[in-house]
Chain A
Amino acid sequence: MPSLKDLKNRISSVKSTRKITSAMKMVAGSKLRRAQEKAESARPYAARMARMLSSLATSLAESEAEVPRLISGTGKEENVLVIVVTADRGLCGAFNSNAVREARRLIRQHEADGKTVSLICVGRKGRDLLRKDHASKILFALENVGRKGGVTFEEADNLNGKILAMYDEGKFDICEVVYNRFKSVISQVVTVKQLVPFTVEKDPNLPKNVKPEPIIGLEFEPDRKSILEALLPRALSVAIYGALLESMAGSQAAQMTAMDNATRNAGEMINKLTLNYNRSRQAAITKELIEIISGAEAV
């Protein structure tokens, strides 16, 4: 049975923990709003890029020879590059471990198929977790992405530059990215997206079963091939940027939920401890009273 003083100390320590977690929740909440706004404002570009690519691709189908390597692939499927996007910090529930678990599953699956896997980690947590069992596969890890004022397009573009350089050197045939997609504040879905070879998505405005029709008389300047070659790396950057933004918003949301739970748990614990404290106090008082009364009776 802990003494009254012990209980008092514990109550005050849980109270200060609650203060910290509720402050962290508030901070995560405001960061989440900013991250969400950023993700929102990046959408028009991605949508228009997709539209432009789809009109390019539909007109491309007739002449297969012109397809750039980024779409057609290297013709092999031996080396797989997996980009794992996590947060730099913990205290956000299962956010990081979910992404890492999916990455591990992917690695196992690819290795079972006899492929070689290499990894790029974005975010310190992913690197720390994967370093334990896949250290030799990690090519490099990025930290502090979007630390100041959120992810910038430049950061995504830089990462993309490195990836494209590796592709040109033939270091990998397939590139996949694992990240937490921001579904809502309470749910982030781990998503695997293939970046290379690039798949052109259909115009999202078109109904599902309608095949996009090539625009008749579409002109190109300078020409279709060079536009596609210039546009594809950019589209990749946009895809990476989108993944980073989603992960960023997701991590803030996950942290907010985790801190909300922690705050609530701390509150419950304080209630329990206070009850305990009051009971022991009462018991001590009763004990003293009994002693006094029985002492008086004895006299």
Chain B
Amino acid sequence: MAETFTFELVSPEKLLFSKSVAMATAPGTKGEYGVLAGHAPMITEIKPGVIRIYENEDTVVTAKLFVTGGFAEVSQNRFTILAAEATPVSELDVNALQARYKEIAQKIADALTDEEREPLWAEQELVMAKLLATA
């Protein structure tokens, strides 16, 4: 049995996940990283992406969750993610996302100023990240 640590995923509205796991990976702003038991303490910002949870030492992903960004803290054998929003990857609808992506791309093409485009770009990035998560 590999060493385990407590992994917690919380959104502002509730505690989503709290379990003892062997490994978890998170999408940091400077690249994806994995956390094992005994990791050095750190605080990171998280970009939209997928969190993978491995409950046992065998490399089977037991849960895949999409987060829209947030913060993560590793300390004292505990890994906490404060997510803005989290959904299981299996609940993402590929077709709806693709349609949404095209819609946004069209809106960006139609927009006249960069100010109009800015929120669209942000959303496009988010939808893109979701699409990548389902791939």
Residues of A within 8 A of B (CB): 38, 41-42, 44-45, 48-49, 51-52, 55-56, 152-153, 215, 217-222, 224, 226-227, 230-231, 234, 237-238, 241
Contact across chains for B30 and A219 when beta carbons are under 8 A apart = no
Contact flags (1/0) for B1-34 with A, using CB distance below 8 Å?
Answer: 0000000101111110000000000001110000
Neighbouring B residues of A215 by C-beta, 8 Å: 41, 75
Q: Are B29 and A221 in contact (CB under 8 A)?
A: yes
Q: Which residues of chain B are within 8 angstroms of A51 by Cβ–Cβ distance?
A: 73, 80
Cβ 8 A contact of B45, one of A38, A153, A230, A238: A230
Tally B residues with Cβ within 8 Å of A: 21
Contact check, A221 vs B45: say whether CB atoms are below 8 A apart.
yes
Can you show 12 pairs from A to B with CB atoms below 8 A apart? A41-B15, A44-B8, A44-B14, A45-B11, A52-B80, A152-B13, A153-B12, A217-B40, A218-B43, A220-B43, A230-B71, A231-B71
Q: Which residue of A lies closest to B29 (CB)?
A: A222
Contacts known (A49-B82, A215-B41, A217-B41); A55 close to B73, Cβ less than 8 A: yes
Any A CB within 8 A of the CB of B42: yes
CA distance A261 to B62 in the complex (A): 53
**Chain B interface residues (CB < 8 Å from chain A):** 8, 10-15, 28-30, 40-45, 71, 73, 75, 80, 82
Contact A44 B44 (CB under 8 A): no
CA–CA, A234 and B11, complex, Å: 12
Chain A min CB distance to B46 (Å): 10
Interface centre among B14, B42, B43, B82 (most CB of A within 10 A): B43
Chain A hits for B11, CB < 8 A: 45, 153
Residue of A with least CB distance to B18:
A44
Give the distance to chain B from A12, nearest Cβ to Cβ, in Å: 46
B12 contacts A218, C-beta separation under 8 Å: no
B44 to A227, Cβ gap below 8 A?
yes
Contact A48 to B8, CB < 8 A, known contacts A41-B14, A42-B13, A222-B29: yes
Partner of A227, one of B10, B71, B80: B71
Query: Across the interface, which residues of B come within 8 angstroms of A226, CB to CB?
Result: 45
Contact in complex: A221, B82 (CB < 8 Å): no
Picked from B14, B44, B80, B82, the residue with its CB within 8 Å of the CB of A220 is B44
List 14 other contacts, CB 8 Å, given A44-B8, A45-B13: A45-B10, A45-B11, A48-B80, A52-B80, A153-B11, A217-B40, A219-B43, A220-B44, A224-B43, A227-B43, A227-B44, A227-B45, A231-B71, A238-B12
